[in-house]
Amino acid sequence: MLEVGMKAPAFTLPDQNGNSVSLSDFAGKKVVLYFYPKDNTPGCTRQACAFAQNYAQFQAKDVMVIGISKDSTASHLKFAQKYELPFVLLSDPERQAIEAYGVWQEKKLYGKVSMGVVRSTYLINEQGVIEKVMPKVKPDSNAEQILAYLNGEE
């Protein structure tokens, strides 16, 4: 995984509407970049909905929220519409950003080892530098943890 103080790797990926989105589009703003395994799975849905419920607070702080997974743009669009997600979801089937940010890792589930996206969140500052790294986050508390940090409570 990347570390605090490192320059955030650049990327350009399609969003849920098929538009190209680059990290550089958000220069001058803080960005919450969260990586998750799969649309419409229980943990990922709870995490996305928690970000949606707290979205107004992120907006009030001029902080962008971006979710990234390997899912297709069509899957992202259905996911965003179903749960009324107000933020950008980026499709990374080639694992461009997923690997650049070090979240493609070995996972163990019921004794079976496989490769996959480890749920992780990065806070990137206005200059494109990683300000906070949150590896292996809990889906239910991730959004609140970031807000607490942004509010100086952590």
Active site (catalytic) residues: 44
CA distance 142 to 65: 12
Instruction: Tell me, rounded to whole angstroms, the distance of Cα 11 from its chain centroid.
Output: 13
Distance (Å, rounded) from C-alpha 3 to C-alpha 145?
A: 18
Q: Is 76 helix (H, G, I), strand (E, B) or coil?
A: helix
Quick one: CA dihedral 114, 103, 135, 58, positive or negative? Answer: negative
